[in-house]
Each structure stands twice: as structure tokens, then as C-alpha cells.
Copies of this chain bind each other. A is one copy, B any other.
Amino acid sequence: MHITRRERFNAAHRLFRPDWDDEKNLEVFGKCSNPNWHGHNYTLFVTVKGRIDPETGFVINLKHLSHIIKTYIIDKLDHKNLNLEVDFMRNKIVSTENIAVAIWNELDQPVKEIGGKLHCVKLVETENNYVEFFGN
């Protein structure tokens, strides 16, 4: 049984490598490398795997899952600059892929502590693009 909670955050970012000049960054990352930033409404789907607890009928209490996602992820990313203000994205390329992996790493342990097992972190950047990470 999989159970999924959706949360959202709105943030600024840019794609670039500081060891590349602007021209090279533009060539690889296109308009996403804009030095003045751009931004997105990100939609995050966190899927947890588990068995149904016969006492509650729940795999996991979604209020607890939502609380964890808000504490570890949304409070740190929402209305923030993902390149400058997020401890767990420091010195990383802020691609959707890398954000999804970092979110997995932040959530893996807390989800265990409420009795679940993280199955998938899906991060939707636009209506046309999304990534899914299933762990290492």
C-alpha cells in the first residue's frame, strides 16, 4: 500500500555552475541560468509505503506526514531562494533532480520515525516537467 501527500512551495532559483562563465552556463542551462533568477510554483508529492495498521486503518497518519514535510521541507523552501537560502542545497546545482534527492535525504529518517518507509519523492516544476526519485 502506498500513501501520498501533496504539498506546495513557491521559490526562486537559477541553474548555473560558478566555475563556468555566463556564456557556457547559457549554452547548457538556457534561460534557466538567468543571473537575476526566475521561479516556480513547485508541487511536491511524497509517497510512503507500508502496511495498514489494523487499529487505525492507516498506513501512516497523514497529519503526521504533512507535519514532517512542512517542518523539514516547506518551511525551508517556500518563498525562498533555493540557491542562497537552503542549507541542504548549498553548493549544489539547483536542478529539479537535485532538489528531489535532497528532499528524500531530509525526509527519509523522519518518515521512519513515524513508522513509514519513504517510497517516492515526486517534484513537479511545471505542468510539462517533473521528476521522481525512489531512493539510492
- Chain copies in the assembled complex: 6
Contact (Cβ within 8 A) B58 A97: yes
Contact (Cβ within 8 A) A59 B97: yes
Specify the main secondary structure of chain A where it touches its partner: mixed
In the complex the two chains form, what is the Cα distance from A38 to B80 in whole Å?
5
Chain A interface residue count: which class? 35 or more
Per a CB cutoff under 8 Å, which of B4, B57, B81, B132 touches A95? Answer: B57
CB A127 to nearest CB in B, in angstroms, measures 7
Per a CB cutoff under 8 Å, which of B7, B28, B81, B97 touches A36? Answer: B81
Given contacts A6-B129, A7-B128, 5 further A-B contacts (CB under 8 A): A2-B134, A10-B38, A10-B39, A34-B80, A38-B78
